[in-house]
Structure formats: structure tokens, C-alpha cells
Amino acid sequence: MINEVDEALRSLVKADVVAGAEIEVVFDAPTREWAARRNKPTIDLYLYDIREDMRLRQTGYVERRNDRGMVEERYDMPRYYKLAYLITAWTQRPEDEHRLLTAILSCFILHESMPAEHMTPLLTELGFPVSMQIAYPPPENRQVSDVWSSLGGDLKASVDLVVHMAIQPDRLHDIATAVMAPLRLQTFGQTTIDSDDGVRQLRDAPAGDAPVGDVAAPEPTPSPGRKRSLGL
């Protein structure tokens, strides 16, 4: 997914900063050896830090439903990460480098999120916005001077770009299969017959008999010593 963000950044910088000029856009580590090999104007976007944005950490599941509203897929919530890029310009004159840095600032000030026309097909398919912050003060434990010291290069003017990226976990959770057949009941202890579908059914009661499940009440027994009135 990081390479998808790289391609989107390359497309944006070439369109709004380079604008057809003979300037390379690369993602190399600006070491001293690398800088000595530069023979043409270059804009370098070096990815030097990757961290999860814990403020956006969520628990639970994301559900995808079909046209009938039934859940078809259930997967984990996305995770959000911050990608820190060190942007530098490399030319023969410092004045030209400063012009490129000014154009880079102007570009990312206008676009707080990646424009749709520069999104890769995979980023568009995921449906999460790619927000960007340019020249924000870095946290105390991520100093740009430490980056240059680790690279072994000479400190020079640079711009810090932070891109917020979402990654959707591929892990899917099993869901219960929807039961579409109508409810059918089986009875036990009754006179039943076999049916074609293997479910035993109640035998039809003979004519004149009480329906199955209905019990005829017995006639009351006359009390001893009393005669039943015949209405005479």
C-alpha cells in the first residue's frame, strides 16, 4: 500500500510542481554518495518514518450488506498510519532549489488531501481519503537533524510531509449462513406417515373422529342416589 501512496505523490508533484520540466521525482535516501551522483535537477521524497495514528484506532467490525440488507462479509476495522517524507530539491544552484521548495509548499497547501485524479486504482477502490500535512512541526522524538545524521549527509533545506494512509486488514470473519427455508416442525407420539420429503406428517383423522390433538370430554356421571331427570 505504501507504494500506491508513492505513485500518487509522484503523479501530483509531476503535475503541479514539475509541470513538464526536466526534473526527476525519486524516493531515494539522500546520502552523501547519492548526492554526488546527481547530474540533473531532482526532487527527492524520502520516506523516513512510519507510525500508526493511535488516535484513530477503532475496535469492532465493518460489515458489507447485499441489496436485501443481509450481511455478506465482516472484517476488522481499518488501521491508520502516518508516513513521514523528507522532501529535498537538488540542483546546481541554491536559488533554484529554493524555487522548487516554494513550488512544493504551494502545491501541498492547495491540496490537504490527495486529489481524485492522482489516486491510484487501488487507493480509489479502498475508498479511504489520503490526507496530507506539509511543514508541520515534527514530534520531539522525530527530528529532521537526526535523519541527516543517520544518512551521513550534509544538512540542507528540506520540507517535512506527513501522509495519512489507511490499511484494510484482509482477515475476514465467518458469518452464519442465512436460512431461507420456511420453518417446519416434527411431532412425536402421534400416528404419523412417511412423506416424500422425509418428514413424517400426521395421518388424516377418520371421518367422525375428533381432530388430532382434541380430546372429547366424557359425559358426567350421575350422582349416587339421584335419578336423572327425563323431563316428565
Which parts of 23-93 fold into alpha helices (H)? 32-36
| pLDDT given for residue 76 in this prediction | 65
Residues 6+ apart with CB under 8 A from 89: 41, 42, 43, 44, 96, 97, 98, 100, 101, 104, 157
Whether the Cβ atoms of residue 152 and residue 145 lie closer than 8 Å to each other:
no
| pLDDT given for residue 145 in this prediction | 78
Whether the Cβ atoms of residue 166 and residue 113 lie closer than 8 Å to each other:
no
Whether the Cβ atoms of residue 75 and residue 61 lie closer than 8 Å to each other:
yes
| pLDDT given for residue 228 in this prediction | 47
The residue assigned the cell 484513530 is 56
Please name which of 86, 97, 83 lies closest in space to residue 143, comparing C-alpha atoms. 86
DSSP 93: S
Q: How far apart (Å, rounded) are the C-alpha atoms in residues 125 and 11?
A: 18
| pLDDT given for residue 229 in this prediction | 44
| pLDDT given for residue 23 in this prediction | 95
| pLDDT given for residue 83 in this prediction | 95
In 66-185, DSSP assigns E strands to: 71-76, 79-90, 131-134, 159-167
10 Å Cβ neighbour count for 92? Answer: 11
Phi, psi dihedrals of residue 125, rounded to the nearest 5°: -65, -35
| pLDDT given for residue 28 in this prediction | 95
Tell me the pLDDT of the chain (232 aa) as tens digits. Answer: 899 999 999 999 999 999 889 999 999 999 999 999 988 999 999 999 999 888 876 666 666 667 766 666 666 678 889 999 999 999 999 999 999 999 999 999 999 999 999 999 988 988 888 999 999 887 777 777 788 888 887 788 999 999 999 887 665 545 556 556 677 767 665 555 555 555 555 555 555 555 544 544 555 555 555 444 444 3
In 11-94, DSSP assigns E strands to: 24-26, 42-52, 61-65, 71-76, 79-90
| pLDDT given for residue 189 in this prediction | 57
Query: What class is the 2-167 domain?
Result: alpha beta
